[in-house]
Structure 1
Amino acid sequence: MVAAGLTGCGLGPESSQDSGQSEGTAQPDPTSSAPAVTEPTQGEPPVRPRVTGTVASGLAVPWGIAFLPDGSAVVTERDSRRVLRLTPGADGTADVDELGEVVAAAPEVEGGLLGVAVSPDFATDDTLFVYATTNEDNTVFRVTLDGDEFGQPTPMLTGIPKGVIHDGGRLAFGPDGFLYVSTGETGDPGLAQDPDSLAGKILRITTDGDPAPGNPEAGSPVFSLGHRNVQGLAFDESGQLWASEFGDQTFDELNRVEAGGNYGWPEVEGRGGGRGFVDPVQTWSTAEASPSGLAFADGTLWMAALRGQTLWQVPLEGSGTGRPVDLFTSDYGRIRTVVTTPDGDLWIATSNRDGRGEPADEDDRILLVSLG
């Protein structure tokens, strides 16, 4: 068993409040065909989530969390480059063991060792996928995990542009068996609209790193474009993909993602009311959110918020959403990641040691949130 170290990047403002200016803010258009939108609010949630325990503490910027078939979880630490296994006990607390390190990761500001996903065929192929910022680019690696033996990470998708900010990094397998990869525009807004760049996109690939069959453009891994910095991906019970995304100076976004959709950045921040772009289903002020991880459970999307220091509860209603409710605001500081547990509850991970928070002695922590 190991105790996780404590590190931080030491930089200033949240990336959704960086020095870049949006090329236009948006207002709702009553003629838009986008799903109905309601304003965020404080209020009583439809269920009453509550933090019922600390799964692990003393971690160093936990970023990605993915559960293995045996109920243990693989956790990546952005700045330490370590890959951990958390094995919950009967009381909910977890033993923390170091599996290995992704040496190729080169942490810098928002980059480093980021997302992790478990192969849908893990029982037979023992395969994990991790996203890391290297010295040259952002890369998706494949690595085998045989018991506690962490293999040598092998690049499977390279050439994703890197930056000190806006590196994307979230990984999620869809119900179609393909791997969805979020990327950021690296602080260069024009890359988000460039169909030949992998930056500012959601990608859809096979487990060999090839463009998935049926992508909007044959031979391209690009599934959707016009994204500033997608930090959360989640599929609901119908198989619909949702994404949480950093805005710039005005609007953070929750998007309902469709194949080939153009989500507007940098031409539009927030709702554009047509113009060939897909409107977000929800927006928040950047002070309320700076959204990161996203999960689905109990008919609801759960969105972690960094600058907002909140877990947003967003009920799904038809093809749109109901009224969001903020939970645990300022109770635990910056919330980086939220995932659904095998039991249908949630784990949330703090990010108070990333250089932008005010860490408590126990930080960073993974907390158990019980639903209902």
Structure 2
Amino acid sequence: MKTLLVASVALFLCLSSCKKKHSGNSGEELPDVELKTRVVTSALSHIWEMVYGPDQQLWITERLGKISRINPQSGTITPVYTISEVVANGEGGLLGMALHPQFNTTPWVFVVYNYGSPYKEKVVRFTYSGGTLTSPLVILDQIPASSIHNGSRLLITSDQKLLITTGDASVSSNAQDMNSLSGKILRINLDGSIPADNPVAGSRVWSLGHRNAQGLVEANGKLYASEHGPNNDDEVNLIAKGRNYGWPSVEGYCNTSGEQTFCAANNVMEPMMAWTPTIATSGLTYYDSDFIPQWKNSLLLVSLKGARLTQLKLNQARDQVSGSKDFFLNEFGRLRAICQSPEGKIYLGSSNGNGDKIIEITK
């Protein structure tokens, strides 16, 4: 009887402490949505980034180094520029891209890519002119890179700062090293200088303890990121200034004794949601359009291994996930990129290697 009682207590403790860590779909039941899909094009390879431009075109990067504009109605692909310096090693290559918010008057295109030997990563600002990219200016260089865990999303925030997610580049301890650019979310001015209001004077680091963040979005004054875990605990995080997100000492929530000790000592912020088994969380956007009302006030997340679009409904404070629902499971393969048109249509970009697609989602 004593053995049974001990086992029962142990099971109860595991359920109460582990259920949060090993979470997938949870919370309120979300409504079904009748959606239509249309393949815009299927003539791409390893789509990495996709931005809905002010010219009503989809701007995309492909990992081998190509930047193109795609007409979302006709699917016509217009090459913009190929960066010959790009070295696509494993998961590396041409990754994130961001357009200046006032693109019509300041036609800057920011990209981040891997290059060279030894392998490394840099952020370059181009000027769009005459249908191509000119005047390259290196904004940040010498970011450690590897065949895995390179990040890297770019985001220009409402206060005109450039955010860069960097992976740990296969050296997990660098994520906790403030002197390393690896495993961080970095924040710089659009000319590459360091903002005076960063958490640590003279440092580009906005947050640390990231393994491999590949989704980044700002909405309603809040910043959200998605991140790849190891064999467990993919994450979606609410990103706060100067906070530590735990890697490699913490995987997902602070729910083991060792993790709890580290979390208390290092001001660790737990994820809004975590997935075990992992789904390889990637592109992320915030949806608040009336075009698909069932998705209002939700993060929309695409995943690679999970091969799906996941709706993460937010609470009113937008600091917690109140429910989740999956769409298009295994329908288009690995999904890396997501963006939204001003009208509220959603576009997904696949990353299967051959015949990669852009898919339009409407109601």
TM range, smaller chain: 0.7 to 0.9
| Larger RCO: 1 or 2 (CA < 8 Å, sep 6+) | 1
Q: Is residue 40–residue 360 contact of structure 2 (8 Å, CA) maintained in 1?
A: yes
- TM-superposed deviation, 1:49: 5.9
How far apart, in 1, do the equivalents of 2:15 and 2:323 lie? Answer: 16
Q: State the secondary structure of the residue aligned to 2:104.
A: helix
How far apart, in 1, do the equivalents of 2:81 and 2:41 lie? Answer: 18
Aligned to 2:270: 279
User: Could you tell me which amino acid in structure 2 is paired with residue 345 of structure 1?
Assistant: K
- Is it true that 1:52 corresponds to 2:37 in the alignment? yes
Q: State the secondary structure of the residue aligned to 1:192.
A: helix
- TM-superposed deviation, 1:338: 1.1
Structure 1 counterpart of 2:153, from 166, 170, 178: 170
How far apart, in 1, do the equivalents of 2:210 and 2:83 lie? Answer: 27
Aligned to 2:300: 302
User: Could you tell me which amino acid in structure 2 is paired with residue 282 of structure 1?
Assistant: M
The residue correspondences of 1:214-363 to structure 2 (distance < 5 A) are 214-236=197-219, 238-272=220-254, 273=260, 274-275=263-264, 276-287=267-278, 289-298=279-288, 299-317=297-315, 318=317, 319-353=319-353, 363=355
How far apart, in 2, do the equivalents of 1:175 and 1:203 lie? Answer: 16
Q: Is residue 39–residue 324 contact of structure 1 (8 Å, CA) maintained in 2?
A: no
Q: State the secondary structure of the residue aligned to 1:209.
A: coil
Aligned to 2:139: 156
How far apart, in 1, do the equivalents of 2:36 and 2:197 lie? Answer: 41
1:167-196 Cα distance to aligned partner (Å, 9 max, x none)? 001111111111111000001000000001
How far apart, in 2, do the equivalents of 1:339 and 1:168 lie? Answer: 18
User: Could you tell me which amino acid in structure 1 is paired with residue 229 of structure 2?
Assistant: G
Aligned to 1:73: 58
CA 46–165 in structure 1, closer or farther in 2 if over 3 Å, else same: same
User: Could you tell me which amino acid in structure 2 is paired with residue 94 of structure 1?
Assistant: G
User: Could you tell me which amino acid in structure 1 is paired with residue 87 of structure 2?
Assistant: A
Q: State the secondary structure of the residue aligned to 2:250.
A: coil
Aligned to 1:208: 191
- Is it true that 1:112 corresponds to 2:93 in the alignment? yes
Q: How many residues align?
A: 326
- In terms of mean alpha carbon deviation, does 63-72 or 240-249 score higher? 63-72
Aligned to 2:291: none
Q: Which runs of 5+ in 2 are unaligned?
A: 1-13, 255-259, 289-296
1:90-114 Cα distance to aligned partner (Å, 9 max, x none)? xxx3211111111221110011000
- In terms of mean alpha carbon deviation, does 180-189 or 274-283 score higher? 274-283
- TM-superposed deviation, 1:37: 9.4
- TM-superposed deviation, 1:38: 10
CA 247–123 in structure 1, closer or farther in 2 if over 3 Å, else same: same
Q: State the secondary structure of the residue aligned to 2:356.
A: coil
Q: State the secondary structure of the residue aligned to 1:108.
A: coil
Q: Is residue 37–residue 322 contact of structure 1 (8 Å, CA) maintained in 2?
A: no
How far apart, in 1, do the equivalents of 2:101 and 2:21 lie? Answer: 33
Give me the TM-score of the superposition, normalised by structure 2. Answer: 0.85
Give me the TM-score of the superposition, normalised by structure 1. Answer: 0.83
The structure having more radius of gyration, on CA atoms, is 2
Aligned to 2:128: 145
Q: Which runs of 5+ in 1 are unaligned?
A: 1-26, 31-35, 354-358
How far apart, in 1, do the equivalents of 2:162 and 2:34 lie? Answer: 30
Q: Is residue 55–residue 365 contact of structure 1 (8 Å, CA) maintained in 2?
A: yes
Q: Is residue 247–residue 286 contact of structure 1 (8 Å, CA) maintained in 2?
A: no
Q: CA RMSD in A?
A: 2.1
